[in-house]
Structure 1
Amino acid sequence: MPFLIYVHGFNSSERSFKSQRVKQALEQRGLGQCFACPRLDWQPQVAIQQLCELIEAKQQDTESVTLIGSSLGGFYSTYLSERYQLPAILVNPAVAAPVLLRDYLGEQKNPYTGERYVLTERHMQQLELLDIATPTQSRYWLMVQEGDEVLDYRAALKRFPTPAKLTHEPDGDHSFVGFERFVDDILRFAGF
């Protein structure tokens, strides 16, 4: 049976809207056990370790693992996809996370969890170690909306010029407006 791992973004959590939509769709099919969206640590090195442990555990007892990552989760998913040779769906991915997150250095509060922490230059260095400059295009479904107010969608198109599948829409925003329209296709992409 396939397994789908949702990788949430910066200052998000397992309760993100997109994660919940995918989880509900699998539960409605009686496949809730085939989904995970772990609450990731805010420190990149720790978050990647959490995800590596989950992937390695699931690879032992499932036929395939697919990642779906949003924003910073898309950045993490690219690294993990290359490391483990997994298919991944990237939703408005933060392809330049080590640069973009420098704007957030200092004290942070996760609005979902209430957790407070301090983002430092050391964390940017951790992100730099995860950056994949030339990803294997055939592994990815890239989903971008031009109205993304947080990230420049053109950076994702430049990093992924020929993905296996591309959804490129005008307007929208960073949350990817109308994401629920794609849930059935996402499950098919993951092998369900």
Structure 2
Amino acid sequence: MILYLHGFRSSPLSMKARLTGERMAQLGRSAEFICPQLPASPKLAMELAFGLVAGVPAKELAIVGSSLGGYYATWMAEKLGCRAVLLNPAVVPMLDLDQHVGVTTAYHSDQPFEFKREYIGQLRALAVAQVTQPERYFLVACTGDEVLDYRDMVAHYAGAKQKVVQGSDHAISEYAGYLGEVLEFCGTTGKIQ
């Protein structure tokens, strides 16, 4: 089972989420891929995510998180003891997102997106100072990320499997080329039978 958690203001329509879901469908494993629309509230996002994987054994679950979703994936993986793949993850989103308090729109629609000041505290409550079992994590970090500093990611996930991509961008535009490796880490071969 793969739970995909998208980033801030993003959605299941993001390029990486769609590519991952499409590959799982090609593998005949659509039923093992979940990618919910996360609410703006970190507390509600985590309640939703935990509810979707309730009862799934840790050894059968992998969480793939992009940007803010990577921050969430780390907290969930620590709580559940499952594997996690982190795609240009936010390490301290409380600092980065403080400037985004207010109402805007989501990236893939015209829907209003409100990020409230109280959500900063909710993010703080999800902080993981240090991962406890680095071998359960796979970091994909791009040196050309224009939003987050890849060096913070590399340091935070020290000891984890790491793929540091020279250049690229926050969206990881060439993600399709890394998808097989991501799915393999998740316990899916990534090869079409």
TM-score by length of structure 1 reads 0.93
Kindly report structure 1 stretches of 4+ aligned residues shifted beyond 6 Å.
Answer: none
Q: CA deviation at 1:113?
A: 3.4
The separation in 1 between residues aligned to 2:116 and 2:32, in whole angstroms, is 35
The separation in 1 between residues aligned to 2:165 and 2:183, in whole angstroms, is 20
Matched residue SS, 1:56: coil
TM-score by length of structure 2 reads 0.92
Q: CA deviation at 1:111?
A: 2.4
1:141 equivalent in structure 2 = 138
The separation in 1 between residues aligned to 2:23 and 2:114, in whole angstroms, is 36
The separation in 1 between residues aligned to 2:101 and 2:93, in whole angstroms, is 12
1:91 aligns with 2:93: no
Q: CA deviation at 1:63?
A: 5.9
1:41 equivalent in structure 2 = 39
Instruction: Identify which of 49, 52, 60 aligns with 1:51.
Output: 49
Q: Is the 8 A contact 1:6 1:69 kept in 2?
A: yes
In the TM superposition, 1:94-173 aligns within 5 A as 94-136=90-132, 137-163=134-160, 165-173=161-169
Q: Residues 63 and 135 from structure 1, CA distance in 2 versus in 1: closer, same or farther, beyond 3 angstroms?
A: closer
1:64 equivalent in structure 2 = 60
The separation in 1 between residues aligned to 2:87 and 2:41, in whole angstroms, is 21
Instruction: Identify which of 145, 162, 176 aligns with 1:180.
Output: 176
The separation in 2 between residues aligned to 1:121 and 1:11, in whole angstroms, is 15
Matched residue SS, 2:187: coil
Q: CA deviation at 1:179?
A: 0.6
In the TM superposition, 1:7-18 aligns within 5 A as 7-18=5-16
Identity across the alignment (%) = 30
Q: CA deviation at 1:68?
A: 0.3
Q: CA deviation at 1:107?
A: 1.6
Gaps of 5+ in 2: 189-193
**What's the RMSD between the two structures over aligned residues?**
1.4
Bigger drift between 102-111 and 4-13 goes to 102-111
